[in-house]
A and B are shown apart, each in its own frame.
Chain A
Amino acid sequence: MGTYVLKRIITIVPIFLIATLVTFGMINLSPVDPAEAYFATAHIQATDEMLEQKRHEFGLDQPLLIQYVNTLIKICQFDFGISYVTNKPVWEEITSRLPATIQLTIGSLLIAILVSVPLGFLAGIKKNSGMDHFSRFLSFIGASIPSFWLGYLFIFFFSVKLDLFPVEGTGTWKHLILPSVTLAFPLIALYTRLLRASVLENLQESYVLFARTRGFHEKMIMGKHVLRMAISPMITGLGMNIGNLLTGAIIVEAVFSWPGFGRYFIDAIFNRDVPVIQAYVLLAAGVFLISNLIVDLVQMYIDPRISRKGRQYQ
Chain B
Amino acid sequence: MIAKLQYQLKSQKVIVISSFILLGLFMVTLFAPWLAPNDPIAVNLAHKLQPPSLDYPLGTDHLGRCTLSRILYGARISLGFAMLIFISALSIGLIIGIIAGYKGGWVDQLLMRFGDGLMAIPSLLFVIGFVGIWGAGLKQVILGLILVQWVYYARVIRGMVLSLKEQNYIMAAKISGSSTWTIMKKHIIPNVIPSLAVMGTLEMGWAIMNLSSMSFLGLGVQPPTPEWGAMILEGKSYIRTNPALMLYPGLMIMIVVVTFNLLGEALSERYGVKRR
Contact = CB atoms under 8 A, between A and B. Distances in A.
**Complex contact flag A–B (Cβ < 8 Å):** yes
Interface of A: 18, 23, 26-27, 30-32, 140-141, 143-149, 152-153, 155-156, 160, 240-244, 246-247, 250-251, 254-255, 265-266, 268-270, 272, 277-278, 280-281, 284, 288
A148 B219 contact: no
B258 A243 contact: no
B124 A30 contact: no
Q: Is the interface of B mostly helix, strand, loop or mixed?
A: helix
Nearest to B124: A247
B65 to A, nearest CB: 19
Given A153-B247, A243-B124, 20 more contacts: A26-B130, A30-B133, A140-B261, A143-B261, A144-B258, A145-B254, A146-B229, A146-B254, A149-B253, A156-B247, A243-B121, A246-B122, A247-B128, A250-B128, A250-B217, A266-B218, A269-B135, A269-B136, A280-B129, A288-B122
A146 B133 contact: no
Interface of B: 117, 121-122, 124-125, 128-136, 205, 209, 212-213, 216-219, 229, 232, 236, 239-240, 243, 246-247, 249-250, 253-254, 257-258, 261-262
Given A32-B135, A265-B132, A254 B217 contact: yes
Given A244-B125, A251-B213, A152 B246 contact: yes
B51 to A, nearest CB: 17
A271 B143 CA distance: 21
B257 A144 contact: yes
7 contacts: A140-B262, A152-B232, A153-B250, A240-B122, A243-B121, A268-B132, A270-B218
Nearest to A254: B217
Contacts of B131: 269
B122 A269 contact: no
A155 to B, nearest CB: 6
A148 B213 contact: yes
A152 B236 contact: yes
Q: Is the interface of A mostly helix, strand, loop or mixed?
A: helix
Nearest to A268: B132
Contacts of A247: 122, 124-125, 128
Nearest to A146: B253
Contacts of B249: 149
Contacts of B232: 148-149, 152
Sort A-B residue pairs by CB-CB distance and give the 9 closest, nearest first: A243-B122, A149-B250, A247-B124, A144-B258, A144-B257, A243-B125, A277-B132, A281-B129, A26-B133
A270 B213 CA distance: 16
B240 to A, nearest CB: 6
Contacts of B258: 140-141, 144
A179 B262 CA distance: 28
Nearest to B250: A149
B135 A266 contact: no
A280 B247 CA distance: 32
Nearest to B212: A146
A32 B135 CA distance: 7
Contacts of B133: 23, 26-27, 30, 32, 277-278, 281
A258 B216 CA distance: 16
A145 to B, nearest CB: 5
B119 to A, nearest CB: 10
A27 B125 CA distance: 16
Contacts of B253: 146, 149
A284 B121 CA distance: 10
Nearest to A272: B135
A156 B239 contact: yes
